[in-house]
Amino acid sequence: MRIGELAERAGTTTRALRYYEARGLLPARRDAQGYREYDERDLVLLRQIRTLRDFGFELEETRPFVECLRAGHAEGDACPASREVYRRKLDELDGLIGELVAVRETVAGQLRRAEEARAGLAAEALVPGGPEPVCELGGKKG
């Protein structure tokens, strides 16, 4: 099949295919007229790349999976190098999750503090001689 058909079947662009070819992820075969020529194996490679990219893998991180498929394995993660990329990605994701949990806790604490401060001001406003209420835009009510 030609590059346009492969791009359409893989759900990508011809530009992306040329880029993958330049990066050595997609084989560059040419027919007698010089047109790029692809087969079903190339479609499998592209689907593997696309799936991994959709999961947040960098393009270079897809290389072991592509090489595994090109070596004749039915699945791109059948090789040790692919599984090592999975391990590194899981470590990276665990780190990001930890960072997000810490940020969430900080934001939740800030919200609690702000709500407690707001509740304290509201209670003081009910006390005769307490501070004058202030509107949300910073001016005094009245």
CB-based contacts of 35: which residues, under 8 Å, 6+ apart? 2, 3
In a domain, 65, yes or no: yes
Query: How many domains does the structure of the chain reveal?
Result: 1
Q: Which strand (E) or helix (H) includes residue 40? A: helix 40-54
Entry pTM: 0.74
The CA-atom distances, in angstroms, between 71 and each of 34, 74, 117, 137 are 26, 9, 64, 66
Residue, of 117 and 121, whose pLDDT is higher:
117
Of residues 48, 21, 14, the one with CA closest to residue 5: 14
Classify residue 139: in a domain, yes or no: no
Taking the C-alpha atoms of residue 45 and residue 33, their distance in angstroms, rounded to an integer, is 24
Is residue 78 domain-resident? yes
In this model, does residue 1 exceed pLDDT 80?
Answer: yes
- Give the range of the structural domain holding residue 60, as residue numbers without chain letter: 3-126
In a domain, 131, yes or no: no
Span 18-22, average pLDDT: 95
pLDDT digits (tens, 9 = 90+) for 64-117: 999 999 999 999 999 999 999 999 999 999 999 999 999 999 999 999 999 988
| Domain contains 38 | yes
pLDDT attached to residue 106? 96
126 or 16, which is more confident: 16
Domain CATH number, residue 89: 1.10.1660.10
Selected residue with higher pLDDT from 140 and 110: 110
Per-residue pLDDT tens over the stretch 36-78: 999 999 999 999 999 999 999 999 999 999 999 999 999 999 9
Question: Which residues 6+ apart lie within 8 Å of 61 measured at CB?
Answer: 52, 85, 88, 89
- Separation in Å, CA 77 to CA 36, 44, 55, 92, 109: 27, 13, 14, 18, 42
134 found inside a domain: no
∠ at Cα 40 (37, 44), nearest 5°?
115
